[in-house]
Amino acid sequence: MRNRLHYLLYRAFFGQRAILAPVREELGLGPGQPKILLYLLSEGPSSQRSIASFYSVDPASVSRMAEQLERNGFVELKQSTTDRRVNLLFLTEKGLDAARRWDKAGEKAEGMLMRGFSKEEEEILLSLLGKMIENGEFGSDE
């Protein structure tokens, strides 16, 4: 079992999570909230539905996290200018600072986890993980 993919992915995920937990707590973020900030940093103002689809999570959980992020001043919820039925999440200055700090901490954690990897091995791992995500068609109804 120790060499099974799902087992190794869990261990890597929780290892990264343990490395980043002190930063998340320092920033005043709850579990799962940093991924919303990173998505907004990368993609710009976005709907909760698009965030939920990207991460293959329940839209209701994104909604709960977004409400907490809004209460704590990390994001603002505004009506879309192109579709009045859609509300978009925007990073505030506080949210932008937190997202950048989280991204930098993630780079540091990545460096720790990739220690001893050659550049070629890093590229292969990233490519293979990308293929796995495509194969899973995360967020797809097919």
Q: How many CB atoms lie within 10 A of CB 100?
A: 14
What string of DSSP letters covers 45-95?
SEEHHHHHHHHT--HHHHHHHHHHHHHTTSEEEEE-SS-TT-EEEEE-HHH
Question: Rounded to whole angstroms, how far apart are CA atoms 101 and 111?
Answer: 15
- Residue 26's pLDDT band (cuts 50, 70, 90): very high
When pLDDT is cut at 50, 70 and 90, the band that residue 138 belongs to is low
- pLDDT category at 142 given cuts 50, 70, 90 is very low
* pLDDT tens-digit readout, 29-84: 999 999 999 999 999 999 999 999 999 899 999 999 999 999 999 999 998 888 88
Domains belonging to the chain, first-starting first, are 5-115 (1.10.10.10)
Condensed to tens digits (0 to 9), the pLDDT of residues 81-130 reads 888 888 899 999 999 999 999 999 999 999 999 999 999 999 999 999 99
What pLDDT shows up at residue 140?
A: 45
Q: What is the pTM of this model?
A: 0.86
Sign of CA dihedral 67, 70, 74, 79: positive
Q: Is residue 139 scored above 70 in pLDDT?
A: no
Residue 11 has which token pair?
Answer: 């261990």
Nearest to 86 by CA among 119, 120, 51, 118: 51
Question: How far is residue 99's CA from residue 35's CA, in Å, rounded to a whole number?
Answer: 9
What pLDDT score does 78 carry? 92
